[in-house]
């Protein structure tokens, strides 16, 4: 099965813009059954990340306590350091936030994200669990924990948490847990559910690059040329091309027998991303992932 990318984890790092988030994710080609998040994600956090932390760190109301305000400021600082890849300082700020207000679910949830990126699964799980114990209905926490489970080779367990994230009708980004659920369902071998979740994500947000990429890969693997072209073409036309999106489009055109289009995409891939894994695969004629 092709690795898919998502997005929760690192994907979550970009604060807001789907485009930036997608490019960051695809740059590292997140894997699995991804979000580019294709079944590998390009996650969690597929995913959410600093964007989530920044949003959740805003004051809940005018009644915010002084203790919570101080903890929130630390989380906001940590989110900025996390975006910059400075995990050491982000951890320091988050530990201070928890020390100030141990009941602040957002701080525990962001600790989970940082530990996840650092590869400390045990600490990440503890942090996510602490956050969910404090705020079991928090959509971002459920989405991020689901992505963590999926990235930890527990994709079947992850679906429950993506669906919990979607229970809140006011959740502003439902397309994200849907594409994460799609990626992880495919990883778990449930093709029907994976396809359905990804299509639902795309229907909710037709600009969702993660859903488009993973749907393109999904239909390419199944040799459904028409549907694969629909998503790969839209992706390449909607966003600045990456090595991954050009490689997807090239393979789709090859399957369709469009040699001129395939050759044009090959030239672009070699010219723009000469040292990429995809360019190396092209040189070897390795068209299957």
Torsion angle of the four alpha carbons 276, 280, 286, 289, in this order, in degrees rounded to the nearest 10: -30
33-35 and 37-39 beta bridge pairing: antiparallel
- pLDDT score at 27: 31
Tell whether 246 is covered by a domain.
Answer: no
Tell whether 208 is covered by a domain.
Answer: yes
* Nearest one of 116, 123, 121, 180 to 147, comparing CA atoms: 180
Give this prediction's pTM: 0.81
Report d(CA 265, CA 260) in Å as an integer: 9
Which residue range(s) make up the domain with 55?
9-240
Tell whether 252 is covered by a domain.
Answer: no
Tell whether 4 is covered by a domain.
Answer: no
pLDDT one digit per residue (tens) for the chain, 289 residues: 444 554 333 333 333 223 323 333 333 223 333 333 333 334 334 554 444 544 444 455 556 799 999 999 999 999 999 999 999 999 999 999 999 999 999 999 999 999 999 999 999 999 999 999 999 999 999 999 999 999 999 999 999 999 999 999 999 999 999 999 999 999 999 999 999 999 999 999 999 999 999 999 999 999 999 999 999 999 999 999 999 999 999 999 999 999 999 999 999 999 999 999 999 999 999 998 6
- Structure tokens of 246? 């050009």
* Nearest one of 81, 113, 80 to 7, comparing CA atoms: 113
Tell whether 196 is covered by a domain.
Answer: yes
Cβ count within 10 A of residue 288:
7
Number of DSSP helices (H) and strands (E) in the chain, helices first? 15, 2
Longest pairwise C-alpha distance within the chain: 65
Report d(CA 27, CA 23) in Å as an integer: 6
- CATH of residue 208's domain is 1.25.40.10
**Number of domains forming the structure of the chain:** 1
State how far the alpha carbon of 268 is from the alpha carbons of 114, 172, 234, 289, in Å: 36, 36, 17, 20
Report d(CA 233, CA 53) in Å as an integer: 33
Beta-strand runs (E) in the chain: 33-35, 37-39
């Amino acid at each position: 099965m092709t690795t898919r990318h998502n997005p929760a984890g690192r994907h979550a790092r970009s604060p807001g813009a789907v485009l930036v988030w997608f490019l960051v994710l695809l740059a590292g080609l997140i894997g699995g059954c991804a979000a580019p998040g294709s079944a590998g994600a390009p996650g969690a956090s597929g995913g959410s990340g600093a964007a989530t932390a920044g949003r959740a760190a805003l004051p809940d109301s005018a009644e915010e306590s002084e203790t919570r305000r101080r903890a929130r400021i630390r989380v906001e600082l940590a989110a900025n350091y996390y975006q910059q890849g400075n995990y050491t300082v982000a951890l320091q700020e988050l530990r201070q936030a928890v020390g100030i207000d141990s009941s602040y679910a957002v701080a525990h949830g962001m600790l989970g994200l940082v530990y996840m990126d650092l590869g400390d699964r045990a600490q990440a799980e503890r942090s996510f669990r602490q956050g969910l114990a404090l705020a079991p209905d928090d959509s971002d926490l459920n989405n991020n924990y689901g992505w963590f489970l999926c990235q930890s080779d527990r994709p079947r367990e992850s679906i429950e948490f993506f669906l919990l994230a979607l229970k809140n009708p006011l959740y502003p980004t439902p397309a994200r847990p849907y594409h994460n659920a799609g990626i992880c369902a495919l990883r778990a071998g449930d093709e029907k559910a994976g396809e359905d979740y990804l299509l639902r994500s795309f229907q909710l947000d037709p600009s969702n690059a993660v859903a488009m990429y993973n749907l393109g890969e999904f239909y390419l693997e199944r040799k459904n040329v028409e549907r694969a072209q629909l998503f790969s073409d839209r992706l390449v036309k909607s966003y600045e091309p990456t090595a991954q999106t050009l490689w997807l489009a090239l393979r789709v055109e090859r399957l369709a027998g469009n040699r001129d289009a395939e050759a044009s995409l090959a030239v672009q891939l070699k010219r723009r991303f000469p040292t990429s894994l995809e360019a190396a695969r092209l040189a070897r004629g390795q068209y299957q992932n």
